[in-house]
Amino acid sequence: MADSFGPMRHEDADDGVVGMGSEAGSPRKEPIRVLVVDDHALFRRGLEIVLAAEEDIQVVGEAGDGAEAVDKAADLLPDIVLMDVRMPKRGGIEACTSIKEVAPSAKIIMLTISDEEADLYDAIKAGATGYLLKEISTDEVATAIRAVADGQSQISPSMASKLLTEFKSMIQRTDERRLVPAPRLTDRELEVLKLVATGMNNRDIAKELFISENTVKNHVRNILEKLQLHSRMEAVVYAMREKILEIR
């Protein structure tokens, strides 16, 4: 949350905003309808003043928290929701999913002081199309709104760098995993896994294999530990992907 509208620079920024996605489309005939969501009234007012100077952008409403944002989005059906991450009652990330449900065509840009990687990842997973830090210039806000409305994604450079670093780490972890042979399951564990894949619960598996339910639980636990997974469904997906088990 910003203490005022001050953190956003009015001069052009040197580092800019990283854009990803399709090229900007043809000029829009209708203004881009924006819903501004921030728990600081002065910051909301500052954004409205800045965006009012843009002929192709129209602020159609404002909200002070995520819960109010969902209601306003359902009522106003904005093109863009410009929303803070951390707000009382209901945060911006939590509100993302609900906004996408009530206003599927709305695109969400998080505008925040939070440079936490977890907030960036959670926002993207929740459906946000942009993640901008409040240190950007006011000119860049309007530019980002236009870009997202035209189908691009917008991320502040420092956050994009963190995202790329995480992608590299994920690729490296995947490559390392491929070098390690798939854990070997016992014949009994494979039997249990195959029955789990058919949707059977532990009791039904116990009856099918003529073993106790506790024994089934132990087998499932061992399977998850060997595969370093957290759920029965993950175990089945992993087994099929690694061709440990083929469901016909």
- In this structure, of 67-76, 133-142, 163-172, the range with the lowest mean pLDDT score is 163-172
pTM for this prediction: 0.57
pLDDT at res. 44: 92
CA-CA distance, 35 to 80, in Å (whole number)? 6
pLDDT at res. 4: 39
88 falls in which pLDDT band (50, 70, 90)? confident
17 falls in which pLDDT band (50, 70, 90)? low
Give the rounded percent of residues in the chain with a pLDDT score beyond 70: 74
* CA separation, residue 112 to residues 2, 37, 192 (Å): 8, 11, 48
DSSP state letters, 89-120: SS-HHHHHHHHHHH-TT-EEEEEES---HHHH
Q: Amino acid letter at 213?
A: E
pLDDT at 222 over 60: yes
pLDDT digits (tens, 9 = 90+) for 172-197: 655 555 555 566 788 899 889 888 87
* CA separation, residue 235 to residues 180, 195, 223 (Å): 17, 12, 7
166 falls in which pLDDT band (50, 70, 90)? low
To the nearest whole number, what is the mean pLDDT of the chain? 80
DSSP label of 50: H
pLDDT at res. 99: 95
Give the length of the chain: 248
pLDDT digits (tens, 9 = 90+) for 92-117: 999 998 999 999 999 999 988 887 87
Token pair for 147 = 């870009």
What domains are defined for the chain? Answer: 18-167 (3.40.50.2300), 187-241 (1.10.10.10)
pLDDT at res. 1: 41
